[in-house]
Structure 1
């Protein structure tokens, strides 16, 4: 039965790892008029995926960060859709990723450093997308400053937490020791 299911799915663009297993290895779902968001839990649904092609559809919303958990992924082609927002930097953990194409979407923001190895044509057609290998980001300093400010806030918060903990500890020790000292001085008199 599993063999028949895999055979039927293959004609629809889905390939199984092996006819006797239910592991989906390839999803070729381009030019099908699919709409809506890409499932946010896609890694849970197809964890062994090596090839994902959702190009030439009408997918909208953001690129799910969860895609970064599909560790076997070699090809991610989501060009010619209506995807928006920034490209998740977490996609850089996909060590096997050799093809990455997000061209002709509505993406914006800087291209993550780990994905800058792919050609400019794979990012083209996204009005708000910038950085290597495309044009320099307008207000590039703003993108960097946001990161620096967040880092600085985290450091300041950490220092504040440590100082607060130490101060609280000193007060607790003092309060605990003070009644002991009072009782001790009562016995001396």
Structure 2
């Protein structure tokens, strides 16, 4: 499963967005908000559900591998602050989600989880949602990636049919046009007073 390079060629990249997060329990929720904004900006919202699931699983695993920062860290504890980085890469027909962490240990896909197990199914979900996924090593850690295929964008719904304008039985009253602005204002005032 470990490869030596990213799953794409740099010349095929259409867009990239990246966010570094502190390794805390709320990192996955923050990554999902980042993902929603990026996909909206790229008009790729059709991937949102699968991308949320994949990102949540990869970030949760990365936070666990990096080491979760405690709830009340001391100043000395902040020196060893662990970070995870989420990067979204748009390709012509897919989106790649990459999550970097400081651990060099390769994640393991488990097929032997029981229904009552509270963990162990994350990579299985990634495996089922992604077109392909894998791991590559970088200096100081690893990157786990998943590629989601972009399907054809459905056409927009048709515009509503225009209603035919009502035909008036009466012909509009034709008033000779005023010759100056004060004449127009007087005519407008007379019309308004006649309605009151």
Confirm or deny a common fold (TM above 0.5).
Answer: no
TM-score of the pair, normalised by structure 2: 0.24
Structure with the bigger RCO (C-alpha within 8 Å, sep 6+) is 2
Which has more radius of gyration?
2
TM-score of the pair, normalised by structure 1: 0.25
Please identify which structure carries the higher helix content. Answer: 1
